[in-house]
Homo-oligomer: A and B are copies of this chain.
Amino acid sequence: MRDAEGKRRQLLEAGLVEFAAHGIAGARVDRIAKRAGCSAGLVYTYFTSKDELFEAVFDATIEQTREDAPITVHDLPEYAGRLFDARRLNPEAARLLDWYALERPGTTRPAALISAQAKVEAIRTAQRNGKVTTRFTAEQILHLITQLATRGAEDPHNPLDPASHREMIVEAIRLLTTPT
Protein backbone atom coordinates (compact mmCIF):
# COMPACT_ATOMS: atom_id res chain seq x y z
CA MET A 1 0.00 0.00 0.00
CA ARG A 2 2.73 2.42 0.99
CA ASP A 3 4.74 1.31 -2.07
CA ALA A 4 1.79 2.04 -4.34
CA GLU A 5 1.45 5.52 -2.85
CA GLY A 6 5.19 6.10 -3.26
CA LYS A 7 5.17 5.00 -6.91
CA ARG A 8 2.14 7.16 -7.63
CA ARG A 9 3.96 10.17 -6.17
CA GLN A 10 7.06 9.38 -8.23
CA LEU A 11 4.92 9.26 -11.36
CA LEU A 12 3.34 12.62 -10.53
CA GLU A 13 6.80 14.16 -10.04
CA ALA A 14 8.16 12.65 -13.25
CA GLY A 15 4.99 13.75 -15.04
CA LEU A 16 5.44 17.33 -13.87
CA VAL A 17 8.95 17.47 -15.36
CA GLU A 18 7.80 15.94 -18.66
CA PHE A 19 4.59 17.98 -19.09
CA ALA A 20 6.34 21.22 -18.09
CA ALA A 21 8.98 20.63 -20.76
CA HIS A 22 6.80 19.32 -23.61
CA GLY A 23 3.16 20.16 -22.91
CA ILE A 24 0.32 17.65 -23.05
CA ALA A 25 0.54 16.71 -26.74
CA GLY A 26 4.34 16.59 -26.70
CA ALA A 27 4.74 14.58 -23.50
CA ARG A 28 5.70 10.91 -23.78
CA VAL A 29 4.51 8.34 -21.26
CA ASP A 30 7.61 6.15 -21.84
CA ARG A 31 9.89 9.04 -20.79
CA ILE A 32 7.77 9.61 -17.67
CA ALA A 33 7.96 5.88 -16.83
CA LYS A 34 11.73 5.86 -17.34
CA ARG A 35 12.19 8.88 -15.06
CA ALA A 36 10.02 7.24 -12.39
CA GLY A 37 11.98 4.01 -12.77
CA CYS A 38 9.20 1.77 -14.03
CA SER A 39 7.72 0.37 -17.24
CA ALA A 40 5.24 2.29 -19.39
CA GLY A 41 2.83 -0.56 -18.75
CA LEU A 42 2.91 0.08 -15.03
CA VAL A 43 1.97 3.74 -15.58
CA TYR A 44 -1.35 2.57 -17.02
CA THR A 45 -2.17 0.62 -13.86
CA TYR A 46 -2.16 3.97 -12.03
CA PHE A 47 -3.59 6.25 -14.72
CA THR A 48 -5.77 5.07 -17.58
CA SER A 49 -4.39 7.57 -20.09
CA LYS A 50 -1.82 10.32 -20.58
CA ASP A 51 -4.64 12.84 -20.17
CA GLU A 52 -5.63 11.37 -16.82
CA LEU A 53 -2.01 11.49 -15.65
CA PHE A 54 -1.81 15.11 -16.77
CA GLU A 55 -4.96 15.97 -14.83
CA ALA A 56 -3.58 14.32 -11.68
CA VAL A 57 -0.32 16.28 -12.06
CA PHE A 58 -2.29 19.49 -12.61
CA ASP A 59 -4.44 18.94 -9.50
CA ALA A 60 -1.38 18.07 -7.38
CA THR A 61 0.27 21.30 -8.58
CA ILE A 62 -2.74 23.40 -7.56
CA GLU A 63 -2.74 21.71 -4.14
CA GLN A 64 1.02 22.23 -3.72
CA THR A 65 0.71 25.95 -4.52
CA ARG A 66 -2.11 26.29 -1.99
CA GLU A 67 0.13 24.71 0.67
CA ASP A 68 3.22 26.75 -0.27
CA ALA A 69 1.36 30.06 -0.45
CA PRO A 70 -1.94 30.06 1.44
CA ILE A 71 -3.95 33.25 0.90
CA THR A 72 -3.60 35.87 3.65
CA VAL A 73 -6.28 38.48 3.05
CA HIS A 74 -5.00 40.75 5.84
CA ASP A 75 -1.78 41.09 3.80
CA LEU A 76 -2.43 40.59 0.10
CA PRO A 77 0.88 42.22 -0.99
CA GLU A 78 2.84 39.62 1.01
CA TYR A 79 0.55 36.87 -0.33
CA ALA A 80 1.53 37.98 -3.84
CA GLY A 81 5.19 37.89 -2.77
CA ARG A 82 4.85 34.34 -1.47
CA LEU A 83 3.05 33.25 -4.64
CA PHE A 84 5.99 34.65 -6.60
CA ASP A 85 8.43 32.74 -4.34
CA ALA A 86 6.47 29.50 -4.81
CA ARG A 87 6.50 29.89 -8.59
CA ARG A 88 10.18 30.71 -8.63
CA LEU A 89 11.05 27.63 -6.58
CA ASN A 90 8.84 25.51 -8.82
CA PRO A 91 9.06 26.95 -12.35
CA GLU A 92 7.66 23.68 -13.74
CA ALA A 93 4.34 24.49 -12.07
CA ALA A 94 4.06 27.82 -13.90
CA ARG A 95 4.91 26.21 -17.24
CA LEU A 96 2.38 23.42 -16.60
CA LEU A 97 -0.44 25.93 -16.09
CA ASP A 98 0.64 27.83 -19.22
CA TRP A 99 0.60 24.68 -21.36
CA TYR A 100 -2.84 23.84 -20.00
CA ALA A 101 -4.15 27.30 -20.94
CA LEU A 102 -2.82 26.89 -24.50
CA GLU A 103 -3.73 23.25 -25.08
CA ARG A 104 -7.13 23.27 -23.37
CA PRO A 105 -8.26 26.87 -23.97
CA GLY A 106 -11.33 28.07 -22.11
CA THR A 107 -11.46 25.08 -19.77
CA THR A 108 -10.29 24.57 -16.23
CA ARG A 109 -10.03 21.79 -13.66
CA PRO A 110 -12.58 21.62 -10.81
CA ALA A 111 -9.68 21.73 -8.29
CA ALA A 112 -8.53 25.07 -9.72
CA LEU A 113 -12.06 26.51 -9.72
CA ILE A 114 -12.68 25.46 -6.12
CA SER A 115 -9.34 26.92 -5.02
CA ALA A 116 -10.06 30.21 -6.82
CA GLN A 117 -13.59 30.40 -5.43
CA ALA A 118 -12.36 30.03 -1.83
CA LYS A 119 -9.87 32.86 -2.39
CA VAL A 120 -12.53 35.12 -3.88
CA GLU A 121 -14.77 34.52 -0.86
CA ALA A 122 -11.93 35.37 1.54
CA ILE A 123 -11.15 38.59 -0.34
CA ARG A 124 -14.84 39.52 -0.40
CA THR A 125 -15.06 39.14 3.39
CA ALA A 126 -11.97 41.34 3.82
CA GLN A 127 -13.58 43.94 1.57
CA ARG A 128 -16.74 43.92 3.72
CA ASN A 129 -14.55 44.48 6.78
CA GLY A 130 -12.84 47.44 5.13
CA LYS A 131 -9.42 45.75 4.99
CA VAL A 132 -9.21 45.60 1.18
CA THR A 133 -10.19 48.18 -1.44
CA THR A 134 -13.63 47.95 -3.04
CA ARG A 135 -12.33 49.79 -6.10
CA PHE A 136 -12.10 46.36 -7.75
CA THR A 137 -14.31 43.30 -7.28
CA ALA A 138 -12.90 40.34 -5.35
CA GLU A 139 -12.56 38.39 -8.62
CA GLN A 140 -10.64 41.28 -10.18
CA ILE A 141 -8.27 41.48 -7.21
CA LEU A 142 -7.50 37.76 -7.44
CA HIS A 143 -6.95 38.15 -11.18
CA LEU A 144 -4.57 41.11 -10.70
CA ILE A 145 -2.53 39.18 -8.11
CA THR A 146 -2.36 36.06 -10.27
CA GLN A 147 -1.34 37.99 -13.39
CA LEU A 148 1.45 39.85 -11.65
CA ALA A 149 2.73 37.20 -9.23
CA THR A 150 2.54 33.97 -11.20
CA ARG A 151 3.09 34.92 -14.85
CA GLY A 152 5.97 36.40 -16.79
CA ALA A 153 8.68 35.65 -14.20
CA GLU A 154 10.93 34.70 -17.11
CA ASP A 155 9.95 37.55 -19.38
CA PRO A 156 13.16 38.01 -21.43
CA HIS A 157 12.39 41.75 -21.72
CA ASN A 158 12.33 42.08 -17.96
CA PRO A 159 15.96 42.14 -16.80
CA LEU A 160 15.04 42.08 -13.10
CA ASP A 161 16.84 40.09 -10.46
CA PRO A 162 14.39 38.00 -8.40
CA ALA A 163 14.59 40.24 -5.30
CA SER A 164 13.71 43.39 -7.29
CA HIS A 165 10.99 41.52 -9.16
CA ARG A 166 9.43 40.41 -5.87
CA GLU A 167 9.61 43.96 -4.46
CA MET A 168 7.90 45.30 -7.58
CA ILE A 169 5.06 42.79 -7.26
CA VAL A 170 4.53 43.46 -3.53
CA GLU A 171 4.53 47.23 -4.12
CA ALA A 172 2.16 46.98 -7.09
CA ILE A 173 -0.34 44.85 -5.17
CA ARG A 174 -0.08 47.24 -2.22
CA LEU A 175 -0.98 50.16 -4.51
CA LEU A 176 -3.82 48.18 -6.09
CA THR A 177 -5.44 46.74 -2.95
CA THR A 178 -5.01 49.21 -0.09
CA PRO A 179 -8.39 50.68 0.91
CA THR A 180 -8.82 54.34 -0.04
Within 8 A of B (CB), among A126-143: 135-136, 139-140, 142-143
* Nearest B residue (CB) for A20: B102
Identical chains in the assembly: 2
A2 contacts the other chain (Cβ, under 8 Å)? no
A168 contacts the other chain (Cβ, under 8 Å)? yes
- Write the nearest CB–CB distance from A21 to chain B, whole angstroms: 9
- Number of A residues contacting the other chain (C-beta, 8 Å)? 39
- Residues in A lying within 8 Å of B, measured CB to CB: 23, 25-26, 95, 98-99, 101-102, 105-108, 112-113, 116, 135-136, 139-140, 142-144, 146-148, 151-152, 154-160, 168, 171-172, 175-176
Asked if residues B158 and A143 are in contact (CB atoms below 8 Å), the reply is yes
Q: With A143-B155, A160-B140 as known contacts, state yes or no: A98 contacts B105, CB within 8 Å.
A: no
Q: With A136-B168, A176-B172 as known contacts, state yes or no: A108 contacts B148, CB within 8 Å.
A: no
Once bound together, how far apart are the Cα atoms of A87 and B121, in whole Å? 30
Asked if residues B101 and A101 are in contact (CB atoms below 8 Å), the reply is no
Once bound together, how far apart are the Cα atoms of A171 and B141, in whole Å? 12
